[in-house]
Structure formats: structure tokens, C-alpha cells
Amino acid sequence: MTIIAWWKRYQSRKQARELVKNTRKLLRMHRDIIDAKQLKYLKDVCDDLKRRAIGEDRPHLIVELSEELEKGLAKTFPHAPGASLRENVEVFLVAAIVAMAIRSFFIQPFKIPTGSMQPTLYGLHEAQEDGRGASLPKRIFDCMAYGKWPTNAESRMPNSLLNFISWIGIGKWPFGAAYTLRGDHIFVDRFTYHFRKPQRGEIIVFETNDIYTDLISKFRFSEYEREQLKEKVWNKFYIKRLVGIGGDRVQIEPPHLILNGKIADDHIGFRRMHSGRDGYQGYVTTGPLPPPCFLGTPADVFEVPNNYYFVLGDNSRSSFDGRFWGGFPRQALIGRAVLVYWPFTRRFGFIQ
């Protein structure tokens, strides 16, 4: 007997033993609902398969009785119509539930929408290079790795999609488009803050509905201003750097952030801001935005209420942050920004 023939016989006996074992287990589980004659028939086939076929090592009988047993099982336990579809749906639902649980309690993905945290994190922004003469492989690589493609800010979604396809496929540059890079995509840790409090200098994500409610209750707005504010703040998620917690006294003496009467330098994020290097320009009291409601001058002091947080953007000259609304309550906190997972730029990796 050759090795191949021996191996085939060995595998056949092994599969037959598994079939007998699983069949007997199945019959024990369902013996109270199976017809008595069918139950006896399946038991007899199992006994024959084990004693006569496997025990006497008769390959042809093993195959014959295995097929007979499988047909008997299929007749006794027929597959319901759509069983495979139901199984696939169940797998999908379980996967969706697990994904939602991870998203709700552990890690949640976010996309940076604006440039308020530059140069630490970037939103959608125009690239420095033109890119019109790039080859097809480079266009595809730039899109997949760096999120680069030509975008016309005034185009509707269908036109933008067609423009993108034409650019990837034939290199046709859309009229009025600029070469843009998509915003940084990050993971937010929703788990850690269940066990410790947020720390100054960390970059955090939070909901903004409470900010809108507080502003409406504290200040008078015209109907138009209220609608504009609601569009900007309601049902949004902001990402900023945490600079003050309950009881802290916050000031800005450009370019420095002053916490409780001292320059804040206990976190790398603050030290970068104060350095004025690598794109960091320090903190300011005013900028191109309308005058802030708080910290409008170096003499102004904001005392953070208990159970509130005060945040500022790293792009202080163009950031709608705590200078305009004050603090936000602890229950609005979502989590801590920990990782840039796309695109693969120099910012890829852990966030500081």
C-alpha cells in the first residue's frame, strides 16, 4: 500500500468516526422529537458504520454507510428555507452589535472637520503642490495614502464624485478645483476616562449641545444670530486641547497660556504652542473671528466652574473655542484623541 492510499484510508476512517460521534450526540439531544422508527434506523446505521465498516477497516463499506447516514440525517433534520440567509444575517447582526459596543465604550473613529487644531491635527485643507502632471500610479497612491484629490468646494456630491473618478482615471483636472487633502482621521479613546480624570494638555472630543444652551441662556441673540449659532454648534462634535479643569483660573498673555497665575509649561502641547516653531504661533486673545466673550484681553481671567472643562484650539488665531463660550460640562465629554490612523502623513501615529 502506498503512502497516499494509506493516508486516504486513514482520513476516511477519521471522518467516519467524527460522523458517528456527532450523529449520536445529535440523536441524544433530539430523541424526544424524532420519530421512533427514524431514530432506530439512524442508530442502526451508526452501529453498522462503527462496528462493521470502521472496526473491520472496510473502505468501500465506510463510504457507503457514511453516505447512507448523511442522507438519513438530511431527511430527519431538513434545512429550513432561507436557513443560510438567516445564518448570514445573524452573523452580520452579531458583528454589528460588537462593533457598536466597541464604538460606544472603547474606541470611536472621528474625522477632523476644520483647521482649528493645526498644526497638530488638520482638517480638509489645500495642498501646497499642484499635482496636475502626476502619473496614474502616483494619483492612486496619493489618494490612498495621503487622501489627496482635486475638489471644488462649490460642487455638489455627484459632481465631486465624477470629478474624482475622471481625475483618477484619465487625469482630467476638474474646472475650478484645488488639490486638497482630506482631514486627519483619528481614534478617540472612550474608555480611559471611566477610570481617571482628564488631564490638562490632552486633546479631547466633546459634544456641543450644552454649549449652545448655555450661550442662549447667558446672552441675547437675534433670531438670525441664534440660527447661525445653532448651525455652527448644535449636534456637533468638537476637538480641542484641554487647558483648564474645575477651579482653574485661565488667562492668555500672548503667546502664553497662564494657569493659576503661572505660565503653563507642564505638557508638551503647551510648550510647543509657546515655542513659536514648526507652525505653532502661541495663544492670542483676538483674531479674524468676532471678538471673544471671554479672555478678550490679557487682563481677563476665566475661572472654570466645578465639573466643567475649558478648552482652546492649537490654531488660536482661527479657533472657535472656550474664549467664545466659556466652559462645557463634564457630561458632554466623549473621550481622548489618541491616534491618527489615516492619512499616512507625518502626523500619523499617537497624538500629543
Judge if 53 and 144 occupy the same domain.
no
Task: Report the C-alpha gap between 191 and 349 in whole angstroms.
Answer: 19
Task: Assess whether 236 and 325 both reside in one domain.
Answer: yes
Task: Judge if 21 and 60 occupy the same domain.
Answer: yes
* Residue 246 and residue 340 in one domain: yes
Same domain, 51 and 191: no
27 and 161 both lie in a single domain? no
Q: Is the CB of residue 110 less than 8 Å from the CB of residue 188?
A: yes
In a domain, 330, yes or no: yes
Same domain for 163 and 71: no
- Asked whether residue 278 is domain-assigned, the answer is yes
Asked if residue 89 belongs to a domain, the reply is no
Nearest 5 degrees, angle CA 261-CA 267-CA 273?
Answer: 80
Q: Which residue has the cell 483660573?
A: 249
CATH of the domain at 229: 2.10.109.10
Q: Is residue 101 part of a domain?
A: no
- Same-domain pairing of 189 and 335: yes
Look at residue 137 and tell me if it is in a domain.
Answer: yes
Domain presence at residue 251: yes
Q: Are residues 199 and 341 in the same domain?
A: yes
Range of the domain at 168: 126-178
Per-residue pLDDT tens for 140-160?
788 888 888 777 655 555 556
- The residue from 39, 59, 76 where one domain ends is 76
The CA distance from 252 to 330, in Å, is 23
For residue 150, say if its preceding peptide bond is cis, omega within 30 degrees of 0: no
Long-range contacts made by residues 283-287, C-beta under 8 angstroms, separation at least 24? 283/252, 283/254, 283/255, 283/256, 283/257, 283/312, 283/316, 284/252, 284/254, 284/255, 284/316, 284/317, 285/252, 285/254, 285/323, 287/316, 287/317, 287/318
Distance from C-alpha of 105 to C-alpha of 190, rounded to nearest angstrom: 6
Distance between first and last Cα of the chain? 68
DSSP letter at 150? E
Take residue 288 and report the three cell numbers written for it.
479674524
Q: Is residue 254 part of a domain?
A: yes
Kindly give the confidence (pLDDT) of every residue in the chain, 352 residues in length, as a single tens digit, with 9 standing for 90 and above.
577 777 878 888 888 888 888 888 888 888 888 888 888 888 888 888 788 777 777 888 888 888 887 888 888 777 666 666 766 777 777 777 777 777 777 888 999 988 899 999 998 877 776 666 677 788 778 888 888 877 765 555 555 666 667 766 666 666 666 677 888 999 999 999 989 999 999 999 999 999 988 888 887 888 888 888 888 888 999 999 999 999 999 999 999 999 999 999 989 999 999 998 899 999 998 776 677 888 888 999 999 999 999 999 999 998 999 998 999 999 999 999 999 999 998 899 999 8
In terms of domains, do 167 and 216 share one? no
Asked if residue 88 is part of any domain, the answer here is no
The CA distances from residue 331 to 51, 207, 234, 310, in Å, are 69, 9, 16, 13
The total domain count for the chain is 3
What's the whole-model pTM score?
0.72
Residues 193 and 340 in one domain: yes
Pairing assessment for the beta strands 125-126 and 178-181 based on DSSP bridges: antiparallel
Read off the C-alpha cell for 157.
456630491
- 168, 191: one domain: no
Instruction: Write down which residue in 156, 178, 200 finishes a domain.
Output: 178
